[in-house]
Amino acid sequence: MAKFSVSRQKALLRKYAVGVKFLMILSSVCLIVLCLPRQAKFRYEFEKGRIWSQKDLVAPYSFAILKSPQQIEADQEEALKSVFPIYQLDAAVEQQQMEGFKSDFDIKWANSGISEKLKNVHLKAGQALLKHVYETGLLTLNAKYLRHSENYGITIVNHNVAVEKNTTGLYTKEKALAYCNAELNRYSLVDKAFMLDVLQNRLQNNLNYDDKLTRKLENDVLENLSTTRGVVQKGELIVTKGTVINDEVYQRLQSYKQSFEDNAQTNGDHKLVLLGQFLLVCIVVLLLVVFLRLFRKDIYYDNRLVGLILLVITAMLATLSWAIYVQIPNLYYIPYCIVPIIIRILFDTRLALNIHLLVILIAGFFVPNSFEFAYYEITAGMVSIYSIKNLLRRGQFLTSAVIITLNYFVAFVGISLIREGNINSIEWGEFLPFIVSVMLTLLAYPLIYAFEKAFRITSDLTLIELTNTNAPLLREMAFKAPGTFQHSLQVANLAENAIYAIGGNALLVRAGALYHDIGKMENPLYFIENQSSGFNPHDKLSYEESAQIIIRHVRTGVEMARKANLPETIINFIRTHHGNTRVDYFYQSFLKNFPEKFVDENTFRYPGPIPFSKETGVLMMADSVEAASRSLREPDAQSINDLVDRIVSYKLNQNQLKDSDITLKDIETIKSIFKRMLMSIYHVRIDY
C-alpha cells in the first residue's frame, strides 16, 4: 500500500510538471504575441542595386510616390531659404537712448574744453545721427543665416505689421559707428572724437531676433511640404522582372510597401493578424521544445531551465517590440547577440545557436530589410558563440566583443558596396548603432550572474572561479592534505585532456576533479598520499573500520561541499567518482585473513551512484589510473600501458560506465591520452 502511494505521488508530480511546462510555453507564446506590433508584412524583399527577380509587379490600386529622404531633405532646405527670420521692433529703445544721449552729453561737455557757443551744434548733430540710425534699424546679425550669405532678408514686425527688408540696408553697431564717423566729417565745427565717445554707448539694438516666432514659421512651412511626387495609377506597371532596382524603381517599391502596410493597418482584420503571429510564434517555440526533447532531455525535464530559456527569448522579443513602438532611430542598437552569449555560457553551443536562429526568424518579420537584418544578426550570433566556445577567462568577453564588431564591420561594408556600388557613397555614421549594440552585449556578464543565482545554474564563469587554486576549500586542502591536493591536480590534468579529446565540458571536469576528494581533509593521514613518516593508522584498525573510513570521505566531501555552497554539478563528481565499487584492498585482505567468517560485501562498497555523464565517467577513470600509477615501483612504457588497460577494463567489467554515455571509441581515446600523459609525468622514454 505504501509503495503504491509513493509511486502514485511520483506519477502525480510528473503529471503536474508536464502541466506546468505546457502552461509556461503557452504563457511565453501569448506574451510574445501580445508584445509584437500589429502590422501586416509586405510580401516582397528588395534592395537598391539588386535585380528584381519576381514576376512583373502591377499596382493593384493607385498610390502616391513618396519622396526619398534625400529629396525631402533638399526640399526642406530650399523651403527654409524662403523663410525670413523675424525681428521685433522695440520703439522704446530710440526714446530711451535719445534721453540717455542728452544726459551723457551734458555730463561730458563740462569737461570737454570746447567752446560753449558750439554746444548746441554738437547736440543737434548727435541727435540727428541717432535718430537716423534708429529709424533705419539697428540689429545683430544671426550666424545661422550668415552661412548662406553675408546679407539676408528679414521680416520686421511692429505692432503686428510686418515689413520685409534686407540686412544690407540696416545697421549693426559697427556699421552705425562707421556711418557716424563718416557723417561727422561734414561738420567742420564739431569735435568728432568727443561725439563718437558719447554716441558709441548709445547704440543699442532696436531690432531683436524672435527665435520662437521664426521657428514656428519654419515648422509651418516644413509641415506644408509635400512628401510625395506623383502617383502610380491602378494597373500601372511598378517594376518588370529582370529590372535593376535603381533609385526611381526603389522609391516606387518603397511607396507601394508603405501604402500596403497603411491599408492593411486601416482596413485589415487585426484578429487575423494576431492569429497569424500566434501561429508563427507557436511554430518557433514548438521547434525549440522539440529540440530540447530530442537532444537535451536534461533541460526538457527541468521546468526551471525551460522557464529560464523562455524568459530570455520573451525578454529579447519584448525589447524589440518596445524599440519598434518608441521608434528608436535604428533597430540595430538592440544587442541581439546577448541571447546566444547568455545561452552559450549557461548551457551549450548547439542550444545557443538554435535559440538565436529562432529569435532572429521571429524578429525578421517586424524589422525593415529582413534579409539584411538576418544576415547581420545570424553571422554576428554565430561569431559570438564560436568566440566563447571554450571560456577559460573573463577577458574572452572583450575579445568576443571585438570579433563581433569586426564581423559587423565587414558585413556592413559588403552590404553597402552591393547597395551603392561606390565606396564613397557609404554612410559611415550608420555603423554607430552596431558599435552601441556590441557595447550593450557586455551586459551579458551581470545578467549571467543574476540568472545563475535566480535559477541555480552553474555557468562556465562560476567554474572559472572555482578552479582557482586560491579558492577557500582548495587552499584548505593544500594545507591539511597536500598529497591529496597534488593528486587532485594530476587527476584534473588527465581528465581535462581526455574530455577535451572526446567532446565534453573540460572546465566542468577540471572543477570536479579539483574538489572530488575534499572529504579526505577530515582524516588526511588515513590516505596513503598524505603519509610521509611511514606510520600507517590503518595498522591499528580492523579491515571493516578501515574500509568505512575510506568510504566515508565521499559522504564527508558531499557535506563539506554543500556547506561551502558548491554547485550541485560539482557535488555530483564527489558522489560518483568511486561509483559503487569495492574498497578491494581491505576486502581482499579480510577474505585472506578470515576465510571462515561471513563477509557483508556492502561494508566494503561505496554507496554510489555510478557516473551518469561523460564528465563524471572520465573523472572516475582518471582518479583510479592516477592513484594506481603511484604504486608502480619502476614505471616504464609497458607497466603504464598494462596499468591503464587493467584499471579501465575493471571499471567496464563492474558496469561503472554504463550510464556515462561513453562509447568504446571514446574509451580507446581516453586510454591513449592517459598512457601518453603518465609516461610524460614519469619521464618514460618511448621506443619507436
* pLDDT tens digits along 442-455: 888 888 888 888 88
How far, in Å, are 264, 292, 642, 681, 686 from residue 637 at the CA level? Answer: 78, 45, 9, 12, 7
pLDDT of residue 106: 86
Average pLDDT over residues 348-371: 88
Whether residue 629 contacts residue 552, with contact meaning beta carbons closer than 8 Å, is answered with: no
Q: Is the pLDDT of residue 78 over 90?
A: no
Distance CA 226, CA 72 (A): 9
pLDDT by residue (tens digit) across 647-675?
A: 999 999 999 999 888 999 999 999 999 99
pLDDT of residue 4: 43
pLDDT by residue (tens digit) across 481-533?
A: 999 999 999 999 999 999 999 988 888 999 999 999 999 998 888 888 888 76
The CA angle 646-651-653, to the nearest 5 degrees, is 90
Average pLDDT over residues 13-29: 81
Q: Is the pLDDT of residue 637 over 70?
A: yes
How far, in Å, are 28, 299, 514, 655, 660 from residue 346 at the CA level? Answer: 20, 11, 21, 31, 21
Least confident of 341-345, 598-602, 631-635: 598-602
Distance CA 590, CA 313 (A): 60
Distance CA 339, CA 343 (A): 6
3-state SS assignment for residue 229? strand
- Burial of 171 (C-beta count, 10 Å sphere; 0-12/13-18/19+): buried
- Which domains, and CATH codes, for the chain? 18-40+269-455 (no CATH), 78-223 (no CATH), 460-681 (1.10.3210)
Average pLDDT over residues 155-159: 87
What band does 13 get if pLDDT is binned at 50, 70 and 90? low
Stronger pLDDT, 295 or 259, i.e. the higher one: 295
How far, in Å, are 14, 351, 397, 622 from residue 291 at the CA level? Answer: 20, 8, 27, 33
For 466, the grid coordinates are 572555482
Q: Is the pLDDT of residue 377 over 90?
A: yes
What band does 371 get if pLDDT is binned at 50, 70 and 90? confident
Amino acid identity for residue 186 in this structure: R
Number of Cβ within 10 Å of residue 588's Cβ equals 13
Distance CA 35, CA 172 (A): 59
Strands across the sheet with 161-166, in order?
A: 161-166, 153-158, 86-89, 207-209
pLDDT of residue 552: 92
| Residue in the structure block whose three cell numbers are 508530480 | 13
Distance CA 432, CA 300 (A): 39
Contacts of 117 (CB under 8 A, 6+ apart): none
Average pLDDT over residues 287-316: 91
What band does 1 get if pLDDT is binned at 50, 70 and 90? very low
Q: Is the pLDDT of residue 562 over 90?
A: yes
Whether residue 634 contacts residue 586, with contact meaning beta carbons closer than 8 Å, is answered with: no
Whether residue 69 contacts residue 247, with contact meaning beta carbons closer than 8 Å, is answered with: no
pLDDT of residue 687: 44
Average pLDDT over residues 130-134: 91
H or E stretch covering 122: helix 119-136
Stronger pLDDT, 391 or 623, i.e. the higher one: 623
Cis peptide before 611 (omega within 30 of 0): no
